[in-house]
Amino acid sequence: MNLPEVKKQNEIMNNREIRICVPITGRNLGEFIGNMEKARRLSGLVELRSDFIEGLQPSDVSLIRKKAVQESIFTCRKKTEGGKFGGREQQRIAILNEALGLSFNYVDIELSTLQEDKIDLSRKGKTKLIVSHHDFEGTPNEIVLRKIIGDMKERNPDIIKVATQVINPEDNYKLFRLMLDDSIGLPRILIGMGKLGEITRIIGPILGNYLTFASMNNQVTAQGQIDINQLRRIYKLMGVKS
């Protein structure tokens, strides 16, 4: 990453608005839907973390879709990639398959889940598929990261998302270089988790990220998420629209 590249990205951002996505959680279906409604005044884009809902059933997904008036990313995250889903894996797969058939704007499914070939991608219609990968141990070297991205691309995603734990500043630079690499050929979301990774959430969209995530009312779903009001203040100081 060099100064001319950063200046180029700043020029691009002056012509468009940064997309801030607010994750929605809730211990039960009623609380979850209530939080969806609270988020309306904060952001037009939400991530529906349905894995937080205790006892969620595939039949509940249609109600969530009905109440989702904002642009929405539906996911039911597995525990090994930072999720909270407490049911059987077969049930989680059924929930994701149900969501694919309900015309959410986006459905986010882990690469590791897609590799099991239990997801019926023929159901997705106009829904955009986000293929994701989460590493809570650290940030691999760029060869490994590019291998992961290559594996993602084999699943014909519309968007790819890679979130890794940042252990040192060099981890951030690995992610920055990928943000700036147009040869990847797909919209991408590259996130550094943890305190040291906060900077990726701020300048990621300026360097090429499709969107960034920000929390609402301390509903943090990943380490390093910044409150949406604080993040908007930062962008205002930077002279960037959000």
Q: How many domains does the chain have?
A: 1
Q: Decide if 106 contacts 72 (C-beta within 8 A).
A: yes
Asked whether residue 242 is domain-assigned, the answer is no
Q: How would you classify the pairing of strands 226-227 and 212-215?
A: parallel
Asked whether residue 152 is domain-assigned, the answer is yes
- pLDDT, position 219: 74
Quick: pLDDT tens for 22-33: 999 999 999 999
Quick: pLDDT tens for 98-157: 999 999 999 999 999 999 999 999 999 999 999 999 999 999 999 999 999 999 999 999
Strands in 188-193's sheet, in edge-to-edge order, are 188-193, 159-165, 128-135, 106-110, 71-75, 45-49, 20-24, 212-215, 226-227
The one-letter amino acid at 34: G
CA 98, CA 136: separation in Å to the nearest integer? 28
Across residues 54-81, what is the average pLDDT? 97
Note down the domain range covering 226.
3-236
Percent of the chain topping pLDDT 90:
88
Asked whether residue 21 is domain-assigned, the answer is yes
Question: Does 12 score more than 70 pLDDT?
Answer: no
Lowest average pLDDT, out of 7-16, 50-59, 158-167, 184-193, goes to 7-16
Across residues 193-213, what is the average pLDDT? 96
- pLDDT, position 34: 96
Asked whether residue 241 is domain-assigned, the answer is no
Question: Does 216 score more than 60 pLDDT?
Answer: yes
- pLDDT, position 8: 52
Torsion of CA 91, 191, 205, 219, to 10 degrees: 60
Confidence of residue 233 (pLDDT cuts 50, 70, 90): very high
Confidence of residue 224 (pLDDT cuts 50, 70, 90): confident
- pLDDT, position 1: 47
Question: Does 94 score more than 50 pLDDT?
Answer: yes
Task: Give the catalytic positions in this structure.
Answer: 134, 161
- pLDDT, position 16: 67
- pLDDT, position 15: 55
Residue 99 is part of a domain; what is its CATH number?
Answer: 3.20.20.70
